[in-house]
Chains A and B, each alone.
Chain A
Amino acid sequence: MTRSTRFMLLLLISLISLGCRTESGTNVGDRDKLTVCLLPKIKGIPYFTSCHTGAQEAAAELGDIELIYDGPIDGDPKEQAELIEQWIVDGVDVICIAPNAPLVVANAMKEARTAGIHVITWDADGVPESRSFFVNQATPESIGRGMVDVMIADVGPDQEGDVVIISSDATSANQNSWIDAMKPAIEESKLTLQTIKYPGENAANALADAQDLIKVYPNLKGIFGISSVSFPGAAEAVRQASKSGEIKVTGLAVPSEMKSYVDDGTVNSVVLWNTKDLGYLTVQVAKALAEGRLTDSDTSLNAGRLGEIQIEGDNVLLGDVMVFNKDNIDSF
């Protein structure tokens, strides 16, 4: 056993000595360029891919920006925090994050700011003291209300009937914040919220849940599909049950993903904003912030092709939630 003890000790000692190289890390990327990190909630879904396209456009236009686009492929907020911490060590210039769960990433964001990195949020806001600006395309309140308003308009303002929500997981922070806004709005209307389903990010379950809900609630007038998986799932279920038009489906999605359902009348309206503009504006804000062109007291910002953009407090406003329908969906 002595032989093995010595061996183990040797292993440990050499390992420790190996790690010891005291010096601060050098930076990743080109020093002449501004390193901007764009951190989506989930990497690999069309919504954020389209934001990325807009961000690339801005980076190319501004010229001296190195754009890093990376994020968790499963939408794990823990991994968002880990990426921020990685970037702190790498010494990047600006971090733009779409927080999946504001509290989970708040500490990492604060540490990034302490390390002299500019931190802004986009797509969803974080804890206020953890970032300098929020590129605000919509608040949870306006998204939730917006979806309910669209549904009421689709169903008919005086129509009574049942609606259901198909969410993501029971723990999905964004979806839950929208649901909180949707509930009172539905209550005020003549519609009745029957139930909320949680199929997770699983397309087969989302489709199955929607099919069952259609059968169980004969008076069903509308389905809210509030994740990138459950919206098309609900629309597909309505189409397969040949109830297009009878049961309205709405939710958040990249318009192009829902085009075939809008064309055949299953979906009247898709609630969203211009995702490319969102990515574009985020990079514009990042650049302006790093160059000191944007300060706390500013009320507007010149954002390239978007022109003059309004700033309210620390919110950079992209504009309101947009509603896409048959008439304008082809242009996006």
Chain B
Amino acid sequence: MTPNSKTETPAFARITTRREFGLAVLIALITIFVSFFDPRFLDAINLRDIIVRCAPTAIVACGMMLVIVTAEIDISVGSLMALTAAAMGIMLSENEWNLSLWIGLPATLMLGTAVGLLTGLLVTVGKVPSIIVTLGLLTALRGFTTLIMGGKNIDGLPPSLQHAAKQGFWGIPLSVWVAACVLVMTLVIIAWTPLGRRIFAFGSSRYAATMCGLSEKPLKLFVFAYTGFLTALATIVDVPRLPTIESGIGLEFELLVVTCVVVGGVSINGGRGTLLGVLLAVVLMTMIRPVLTYLEIGEEAEKWTKAIQGTLIAIAVIGDSLFRRRGRGESRS
């Protein structure tokens, strides 16, 4: 929002920053610490489980990162996940409409993209700030989902979809393959397309970008639609892994994704951030729960889980800011 003066290399061109290094060290330290207590933490099956849990967050974080780079935000992804899950369940379940996968899955993706587009339109054409649009959608979509599900859970998703989400191919669930593809796709968009460069250009200085003749609307429409699409995609590959579709799916997911993106070093003022940082942050945030289980901290300490998560977030962002101030004496507005 405020024009940042930067003389450093453009963010997208750099491979690593101090933030990524710090996150990687933090992850390594925690891993060493836990495996010292319980070497089984490094078992293949546990690593696989953690990666599988990272997948949906990583998928949506790719879109969220672009949104935040344009100095916008989307806090409706958790509710959108619930809505797309309900829609997918109603369309595909053998107890409901029992449509074919070839109709149901594209329709789910289209629904997610459509809601993302709607957000984008309200932000660009309606000039309503994105935090307001998505705050409204956060409550509205959740209420709507509960309403259409009518107090029942939906199960009976097609076995092929469940199999893909649980066992997957060559021992790796579908969500991980999809997450890898999304990461590569997003990386390509950021690094090698004019679209990506424009997104970062706008985020770092809206004024300069406008003066250079760039148009803002299509960019923002794209990032919101992309996030909506990715949310639907994450729903398709991850929700069939869960026992049943209920209206509480994706509760507080938006906070998790935003936290990951922010902890990953994407500036909330736009224009700065790397995909690697976001990915590392996703791993860090996802590994907290299993780490606490493996440490066998006991039932009283379990109640401190949220406090530990909050402290870790604070350490990640504050520690980085301390380093930066000392390192470069850089001042931000």
Contacts and interface: CB of A to CB of B under 8 A. Distances in A.
Interface of A: 43-46, 48-49, 52, 73, 170, 193-198, 200-205, 207-209, 211-213, 215-216, 228-229, 232-233, 235-236, 240, 257, 260
Query: Nearest 4 A-B pairs (CB), nearest first?
Result: A49-B151, A232-B243, A212-B293, A236-B243
Given A197-B293, A208-B290, A260 B242 contact: no
Given A257-B153, A257-B244, A215 B46 contact: yes
B294 A216 contact: yes
Contacts of A201: 248, 251
Interface residues of B, number: 40
17 contacts: A44-B149, A44-B151, A45-B246, A45-B247, A49-B151, A52-B151, A73-B247, A193-B299, A196-B299, A197-B302, A200-B251, A203-B242, A203-B243, A205-B289, A209-B289, A209-B293, A233-B242
A208 B289 contact: yes
Contacts of A205: 289
B247 A213 contact: no
A207 B155 CA distance: 16
B95 to A, nearest CB: 11
A48 B299 CA distance: 29
B249 interface: yes
A193 B238 CA distance: 31
Name A's interface SS.
helix
A208 B151 contact: no
A208 B291 CA distance: 12
Contacts of A215: 40, 43, 45-46, 49
B166 interface: yes
B302 A216 contact: no
A56 B140 CA distance: 28
A201 B250 CA distance: 10
A195 B302 contact: yes
A204 B60 CA distance: 15
B293 A204 contact: no
Nearest to A48: B151
Given A43-B146, A204-B242, A198 B302 contact: yes
B96 interface: no
A213 B40 CA distance: 12
B298 interface: yes
Contacts of B332: none
Contacts of B150: 49
A200 B241 CA distance: 18
Nearest to B241: A207
A211 B38 CA distance: 16
- Find the residue from B49, B166, B248 having the highest chain A CB count within 10 A: B248
B53 interface: yes
A202 B302 contact: no
Given A200-B251, A208-B49, A229 B289 contact: no
